[in-house]
Structure 1
Amino acid sequence: MNQDRSDGIAPQTVILMAVAVGVAIANVYYNQPLLVDIQQGLGVTPAEAGFLPVATQLGLALGILLLVPLGDLLERRRLLVVLSCATAIALLGMALAVNLSWAVIASLGIGLTTMVPYLLLPLANEWAKPDQQGRVLGTILSGLFVGILLARTVSGLVGAWVGWRCMYALASGLMLILVLALHRLLPESRPQIKTSYAELLLSLWHLVRSQPLLRKSSLLQAMLFGCLIAFWGVLAFFLAGPPYNYRSAVAGMFGLVGLVTAFAAPRVGQMVDRSGSDRIIGISIALVAIALLILLFIGYSLWGLILGTVLLDLGVQSAHLANQNRIYRLVPGARNRIGTVYFVSSFIGGSLGSFLQTYAWKTWHWPGACLTCLLMTGIAFLVHGWGQE
């Protein structure tokens, strides 16, 4: 069956997509609470175990660059099913890992094949009516945010009860269930273009050159995402010292603020449909700036730290939603390649944020980290001021 664009996207299809992106993106984050258990199970050092999340993120970046553009060339349901099967195999490989090299290769494979979120978001935008695109993206992104949050919580609990290998075996089984659900319930979707894979990749640069709004959205979100990564990179260190002196478990609990964003995402999507992406992005950047000022001046009190963290996450993710809503409209036949440019830019921004926060924390501690984030937010504000949507 093919999706009829004139009827919009069916509510049950939106729910399927939200669940699918949540189940899939969780695979990337299972290893974070399990690193100590994996380290002990494989008999490696903490530094060596640290290669596993790096390999996963590297695989994710490579997959976005090399596999997501295929969504503009191949039938999407079949592509999603094949990649999800590959993810299940990689997860099973992780569960059976007997040494570090095996585990690194499996982690790379998990990241490389976890492309369900990055293929379903542009597909949902394509199927949704113009006046419902923001709400649909918001609903699906709420599934993604919940998946990230639950991944860290569930993997920690499962790892403590039955071991980290069981967590990966369970995740592999979940992906096989997702494969069946996608195959049976997701409509077919055949792209209209016919070209070679090499030409498909080369067209990424043409899109960057020919679409100023894509450049603007990508740079803007790179700065905001870099700001978010920089903040989370120093939060644990800040909480470990005075005036808090909290343990790492408490720092992990701050991740639950993402629930606010998860529940707010559909509402933000409706606001995007009514008011337009440009206005919501401007409000989101202002929200991020307010959050950082709260963190800078009132972050030494617990309520100020919690409030600032909630507003920061909500602002960055709201801008993320609105940016996707407008870039996927630029070239209807190139939504996946547009998403590739956008997400690769976000990864670069995240890397820049990580680099800057390391130096800022070492030199100026909390004030330096907050000011660095404000600097990146200021750049995002200037980029947002370059012309109108």
Structure 2
Amino acid sequence: MKLSRTDVMLMAFCTGLIVANIYYCQPLVILIAQEFKVSESHAGMVTYLTQAGYALGLFLVVPLGDMFERRKQILIITGMAVASLFLAAISHSFLLLQIASVLIGASSVVPQLILPMAANLSSDEKRGETIGIITSGLLIGILASRSISGSIAFLWGWRTMYFIAAGICTLLMILMAKRFPLSRPSFKGTYTELMASMWHYIKTEPILREAAMINFLAFGVLSAFWTTMVLFLANPPFNFQTLQIGLFGIAGAAGALAAPLVGKLSTGSNPRKNILIGLILQALSIAAFYYTGGQLYLFIIGIILIDIGQQAIHVTNQTRIYALIPEARNRLNTVFMSVSFVGAAVGSALGLWLWDSGQWPLFCFGSFAIILLNISIYKFYNNKFER
């Protein structure tokens, strides 16, 4: 069957609400630190543990989409997310919350099963646009989750957010069971052969290697920002509370509306140029952050730029890898997204370290250095592909 516009919008809706599970914790760091009597930077561990869990789930679970029926797999994993979110909500110690955070990340990989399903059911000429629309839903979910989480935590406490998220995922399970199409796999081998094939693709597909490396660093910069900005805004000169910090996610969500346009452009004759544009936008965003001072308008401009830049990089790279080997889309996506979210986890940890070492200025210098490294990788592969 082919996807209708309604199917695509439904997938974008589910993708955004499920991926939000990974990011609800970011505005909650201050409140978690206060309840468990740990430092704010130590409480920030829940952010990169959740991302590390997501990377683990991507590596171990998502490849199975090429082996088993995807709708059934999506429902089972969403059920695991419900249990993990509930565990976080009732955590009586910081250690238990850390364990729950890893499990939440590992069970929130459903968007990376939905995207290959959508790619398989889309025509070649519509694939980039479809991926762009669903990715737009994903990005809006990521960014709006911070505003929602900050607001709910301010009014009713941080645990309430996890209870609500568990309820949302329960409702989504019912909706997906009724509306998602069956998606039959093409791989007939064993799990060992399935996993081994990914290493073969890494060795033989230079586009996959380039896309994964660039996304590793780009996600690292983005994640470092969203983790560190909580500390930046909670301290002088702003001294913002959780509710106010969460509202800055709205600026990023506005930038996410560019994803469908990027998806259309990524099916053009030279989609790689979108990657360079994205890297330049990320660099401009860091400049805006550095010069923010007490001028919040620069900070908001920087948020919009960094998120549009990330979309240009991510949607373009994902569309490029889906075009490589249609019957292995889940495995290609596993390599691509696992590397990306390892980058996100490393970026969160690095952002906290830069903050502890030199506060906001050192974060900006470190992030700019990573972007320059990413541009160098882009140029290296540009020369390689031209030859």
TM-score range relative to shorter protein: 0.7 to 0.9
TM-aligned CA distance change 1:293 to 1:45, over 3 Å: closer
For 1:33, the equivalent position in structure 2 comes to 27
Match of 1:117 among 98, 111, 119: 111
SS at match of 2:313: helix
Match of 1:362 among 336, 358, 361: 358
TM-aligned CA distance change 1:157 to 1:293, over 3 Å: closer
For 1:91, the equivalent position in structure 2 comes to 85
TM-aligned CA distance change 1:89 to 1:355, over 3 Å: closer
- Runs of 5+ in structure 2 lacking a partner? none
CA distance in 2, matches of 1:369, 1:196: 43
For 1:341, the equivalent position in structure 2 comes to 335
Q: Tell me the TM-score normalized by structure 2.
A: 0.86
CA contact (8 A) 2:288 2:302 kept: yes
Q: Report whether the alignment pairs 1:329 with 2:323.
A: yes
CA distance in 2, matches of 1:366, 1:95: 31
Q: Report whether the alignment pairs 1:245 with 2:237.
A: yes
1:366 offset after TM fit, Å?
Answer: 6.4
Amino acid at match of 1:159: A
Amino acid at match of 1:372: A
1:68 offset after TM fit, Å?
Answer: 0.8
TM-aligned CA distance change 1:347 to 1:95, over 3 Å: closer
Amino acid at match of 2:198: L
For 2:259, the equivalent position in structure 1 comes to 265
Q: Tell me the TM-score normalized by structure 1.
A: 0.86
CA contact (8 A) 1:85 1:176 kept: yes
1:79 offset after TM fit, Å?
Answer: 0.2
Match of 1:372 among 358, 369, 373: 369
1:138 offset after TM fit, Å?
Answer: 1.4
Alignment of 1:1-389 (within 5 A): 4=1, 8-38=2-32, 43-46=36-39, 49-232=43-226, 235=229, 245-249=237-241, 252-292=246-286, 299-300=292-293, 302-351=296-345, 353=347, 358=353, 362=358, 365=362, 368-369=365-366, 371-388=368-385
Deviations 1:333-354 (A, max 9, x none): 1111111111222234345545
CA distance in 2, matches of 1:98, 1:351: 24
Moved over 6 A (4+): none
TM-aligned CA distance change 1:102 to 1:306, over 3 Å: closer
CA distance in 1, matches of 2:109, 2:158: 23
Amino acid at match of 1:362: G
CA distance in 1, matches of 2:365, 2:43: 30
TM-aligned CA distance change 1:56 to 1:308, over 3 Å: closer
CA contact (8 A) 1:76 1:190 kept: yes
SS at match of 1:273: coil
CA contact (8 A) 1:72 1:193 kept: yes
TM-aligned CA distance change 1:229 to 1:167, over 3 Å: closer
CA contact (8 A) 2:258 2:311 kept: no
1:151 offset after TM fit, Å?
Answer: 2.0
1:190 offset after TM fit, Å?
Answer: 0.8
- Runs of 5+ in structure 1 lacking a partner? none
Please identify, of 306-315 and 111-120, the stretch whose mean Cα deviation from structure 2 is larger. Answer: 306-315
Sequence identity percentage: 35
TM-aligned CA distance change 1:173 to 1:233, over 3 Å: closer
Aligned CA RMSD, in angstroms, stands at 2.9
Please identify, of 339-348 and 328-337, the stretch whose mean Cα deviation from structure 2 is larger. Answer: 339-348
SS at match of 1:9: coil
CA distance in 2, matches of 1:365, 1:382: 26
TM-aligned CA distance change 1:87 to 1:229, over 3 Å: closer
Deviations 1:19-62 (A, max 9, x none): 11111111112223334444555x55346644433432232121
CA distance in 2, matches of 1:12, 1:114: 23
1:131 offset after TM fit, Å?
Answer: 1.3
